Structure 1
Amino acid sequence: MFRTTMADDHGMLFVFEDSQPRRFTMQNTSIPLDLLFVGEDGKVRAIEKGQPFSTIPISPRVDAHFVLELKAGTAQTAGIQIGERLRHPLIDTVVNHSRRRV
């Protein structure tokens, strides 16, 4: 929120305690974003576009343990698609913990 710029190779990763549907708005965000909703398995479950200052909820019908916000167009440029496994130390910790429970 309240960011006016973001480097092309940066993003914001939101880590939640559990997996459930998530709801975001862009009401205090002035730059367009890609929002990647990621399950506890580390796989992208939905990719949504966020429009600056919009109060319309962004809430795909998927459970997400993480939400990654990137500059608009980054997901497409990087070739990120639904089902793709994202790698990040925080995501990997949850994925590895989930595998041990099974």
Structure 2
Amino acid sequence: MAALAQPLGPADRPIKQPGEFPTVQLSVGLNLIHAEVAANDADREQGLMYRKSLAPNSGMLFVFDERAGHCFWMKNTLIPLSIAFMGDDGTISDIDEMAAETENNHCPTRAGRYALEMEQGWFTKHGIRPGMQIKGLSGGQ
């Protein structure tokens, strides 16, 4: 019996599908977020590439080992997204809107350890803005 070939992603790795990433529940204000977690180089490189949709109140949390000005782009990302950049304590420093399938850089104004991508407009729709804190991140938030 022949095995079905799985599409290849960045650096010729098989593409992880929804449900194959670890998950965490986050909150900001009264809003609950179901987030897939990208905490290693391969997962951060793939992110939400090739996805055609996101479930309501779902997104992807990017976790970095070091505080830095981690920038994002939307190459091979089929859906428009909003991104919130956060410091160690989950406080949002910046929120940016990102158009699908573009290679524009989206960078925070301050060094941070986390970024959360959600469906475009999610943060605005829920009244989430810089200075608010996302809870449920590692480190007891």
- How does the TM-score come out when normalised to structure 1? 0.85
CA shift in 2, pair 1:94/1:25, >3 Å = farther
Q: How many residues align?
A: 93
Task: State the secondary structure of the residue aligned to 2:139.
Answer: helix
Divergent runs of 4+, >3 A: none
Query: What are the equivalent positions in structure 2 for 1:1-102 lying under 5 Å apart?
Result: 1-88=49-136, 91-93=137-139
Q: Which letter maps to 2:76? A: N
* Structure 1 alignment gaps of length 5 or more: 96-102
Is the 8 Å Cα contact of residues 33 and 50 (structure 1) preserved in structure 2? yes
Quote the RMSD (CA, aligned, Å).
1.3
Deviation at 1:93, TM superposition (A): 1.1
Q: Return the TM-score normalized by structure 2.
A: 0.62
CA distance in 2, matches of 1:94, 1:52: 33
Secondary structure of 1:52's counterpart equals coil
Q: Which has the larger radius of gyration?
A: 2
Which structure has the higher relative contact order (CA within 8 Å, separation 6+)? 1
Higher helix proportion (structure 1 or 2) = 1
